[in-house]
Structure 1
Amino acid sequence: MQLHKLSFLFFLSLLIVTGCKKDNLTLPPDEIGGKRAVGDFVRNNYDLSILAAGLEKTGLMDSLNQPGPFTLFAPDNNAFKDMGVTSAAAFNTMNTDSLRDALKYHVFRERKYIGDFPVQMSNKFVTLSGAEMYVSVSMMPGSPFSPPIHRNVYVNGALVYKENKRDIALANGVVHVIRKPLKYYPQTIQEFLQADTSLTLFVAALKQFKLWDGLSAKGPFTVFAPDNKAFRNQRLTADSISRMDPAAFKPIAMSIYTTEHKIRRIFSTDWQQINGNFGTNDTFIQLTGFIMQPFYEYNSYNLTETAYLKPMTPEGGAGTNGPYTINYKGSIAKGTDHVVTNGVVHKIDDLLLYPRTLRK
């Protein structure tokens, strides 16, 4: 529980650190790959001031000025704002070791420009924290070749900005600016779910329907976790869940949340890339009697993200056995892409399917 609390404080409690006038993200041509190190670049950019504050607090700023080379995926200030950044006190009282591990997860020891990443899903890289991150790259839809500046790139489901916010070449590495902080927890899915008090009814349902024990295996698994309010809205309480007979329901009524325990790691942004470049036949999550679309779209004109889940019958019918669409809990920034040791968890604000409609 303490580890979960510290991770929560990191992603929700960093305060924007302001100071003297700082540089823009774009380097002058004569400085690209030249004098400035990664740490100094972050320190001297206003748009990265929250990240800079965390790096300073943990001593990582000096580490990022060492020879390297490093690749840093850098959340900008807007990324932290979307996580609900409000309190300076929370920042100052945060556990330094937990913060350091969280920030080290954004860096690995290679210089990787966008053009160096293979055009495929989930390229794995070991971060400075020792855990793996997953970088997915695709060409622009309908284009057999897109220059690196225009390729669609996501790391753990976080958008890598295009044009002058990627491939920022520095003396000891390269920086790519991302849309949201990366969330990694050195826990299993079971440990993650148990530590979150807003998911107690979901845990109870998994146990009642004999789906809990399988989530301790190696995986990777993808879990969509409805919060307690979602169950209560359907008049499902701890008591009523304990009295549900799994044999009276079609298995998909609850196994949809664990994507039937199939081995797969699905990030919130994957469908867009798979559908655009890699999905010749199967672009949806295939389930028994249903399919599911984890929709994602980034609007580069007004800089907004749209994301939701849509369960459907194979014929495309939606809304019969549950809501037409389901949103991520607390927005895409907060609810999606919680990477754990054996998979990824997404927190959602409604049930995917209503059990009462799936009685045998």
Structure 2
Amino acid sequence: MQYNKLITFFISLLFIAGCKKEDLTIPGDKTAESRSIGSFIRNNYDLTLLSAALEKAGLSDSLNQPGPFTFFAPDNAAFNSIGITSAKDFETMNVDSLRFALKCQGFRDRKYISDFPFQLGNRYVSMAGPEMYVSVSKNVNYGSGASDRTVYVNGAYVYSNSKRNIALANGVVHVVRMPFRYTQGTVQDFLMADTSLSLFVTAMKRFKLWDGLKEKGPFTVFAPHNDAFRKYDLTADSINKMDPDKFQAIAFGIYSLIQEPRHIFSTDWQQINVDYGGISTYIHLPGFSIKPYYNYNEFLQQETHSITVVDDAGQSGINGPYQVHYKNGVAMGADHIVTNGIVHIVDDLLLYPQTLIK
């Protein structure tokens, strides 16, 4: 399953450095400390799982090279959110996949938060090759300056205060809420590789929406888990017996956003709404609009997420559920980056097909 593939990206033997561990700290100004990024990660309690992954992938020394680098470091809680909690989880892995995933966490250059332009989706080429997307909002957390702005990278929340702008000899570290989720392949490849999405694949093929997902894109796809289809007694057999001509195109077209070129992370609406507000920031489709909501309360360490589909009258819960969520939480379900878009795995159907019969 794709979830298992994601977890193996970060599996390695736990390496505990013999020197004393420290809490995350940041200098009073941006003067770089003498330590390099690799040494800093190795010597911080909150980053022990990341240190273990880097050691297994053979990248710790790479992050001690001159650089400069900007590295977005998943903390222990970030690894916990994808099921990696102890050394027992690090016994099997694919080293190449792990190395690729970790190299996707950073890029070559030194960028502090205030250096990122105030806009959605600033693009930077990661050390592994794929682009990463840094979104900066005018909203600020626990401060009032440009360095306090709310920032998401590939949909992952960048912590505030002492967990960002950590100046080091060969670059800068920002700690993030989730590991980035890259898969080398198309939307089609991602969906086919995950057997828990087989009924969605069946529906996309039956309604003639499948072939387009191998094109250039970018596409944003909300893929319901098999459990979502079974909830409404929809099986592969019953889906294949549906007559596509009897349903409105949006009934299943909604999941790939009518295959219009879009590149939307789970946190993008939150960023746009803070800055511009209003219904105009919804994802508009024929007859319906989608609002993917996300919020992370850093003080309470609480994450809130939902996907709401409303009709043109602004009503929800008529043609589909009042709310849908990412399957197994944001860290596992949302923001899977593929070569031609983004896939979000959701726990319910966005629309009830029977309500959209012509």
Band of TM-score, shorter chain: over 0.9
1:218-262: CA deviations, max 9, x gaps? 111100000111101111100001110011111110011001111
| Alignment CA distance shift 1:86-1:166 (3 Å) | closer
Cα distance in 2 between the residues matched to 1:354 and 1:147: 46
Cα offset, 1:137, TM superposition = 0.5
Cα offset, 1:8, TM superposition = 3.5
TM-score normalised by length of structure 1? 0.94
Cα offset, 1:18, TM superposition = 5.5
TM-score normalised by length of structure 2? 0.94
* Residues 1:120 and 2:119 are matched in the alignment: yes
Query: Which structure 2 residues correspond to residues 176-191 of structure 1 after superposition, within 5 A?
Result: 176-191=174-189
Cα distance in 2 between the residues matched to 1:169 and 1:356: 56
Cα distance in 2 between the residues matched to 1:72 and 1:253: 41
Cα distance in 2 between the residues matched to 1:178 and 1:15: 22
What are structure 1's unaligned runs of at least 5 residues?
A: none
Q: Does the aligned pair in 2 maintain the 1:68–1:173 contact within 8 Å?
A: yes
SS of residue in 2 equivalent to 1:152: strand
| Alignment CA distance shift 1:279-1:203 (3 Å) | same
Cα distance in 2 between the residues matched to 1:256 and 1:68: 44
Query: Which structure 2 residues correspond to residues 1-360 of structure 1 after superposition, within 5 A?
Result: 6-11=5-10, 21-29=20-28, 32-86=31-85, 88-140=87-139, 146-279=144-277, 282-360=280-358
Amino acid across the alignment from 1:108: F
Q: Does the aligned pair in 2 maintain the 1:7–1:98 contact within 8 Å?
A: no
Q: Does the aligned pair in 2 maintain the 1:6–1:95 contact within 8 Å?
A: no
Cα offset, 1:314, TM superposition = 2.2
Cα distance in 2 between the residues matched to 1:31 and 1:295: 34
| Alignment CA distance shift 1:29-1:138 (3 Å) | closer
1:81-111: CA deviations, max 9, x gaps? 1111246344232111110001000010000
| Alignment CA distance shift 1:30-1:212 (3 Å) | closer
Cα offset, 1:193, TM superposition = 0.2
Amino acid across the alignment from 1:225: A
| Alignment CA distance shift 1:31-1:322 (3 Å) | closer
What are structure 2's unaligned runs of at least 5 residues?
A: none
* Number of aligned residue pairs: 355
Cα distance in 1 between the residues matched to 2:12 and 2:300: 25
SS of residue in 1 equivalent to 2:61: helix
Q: Does the aligned pair in 2 maintain the 1:6–1:94 contact within 8 Å?
A: no
SS of residue in 2 equivalent to 1:83: coil
Cα distance in 2 between the residues matched to 1:210 and 1:285: 22
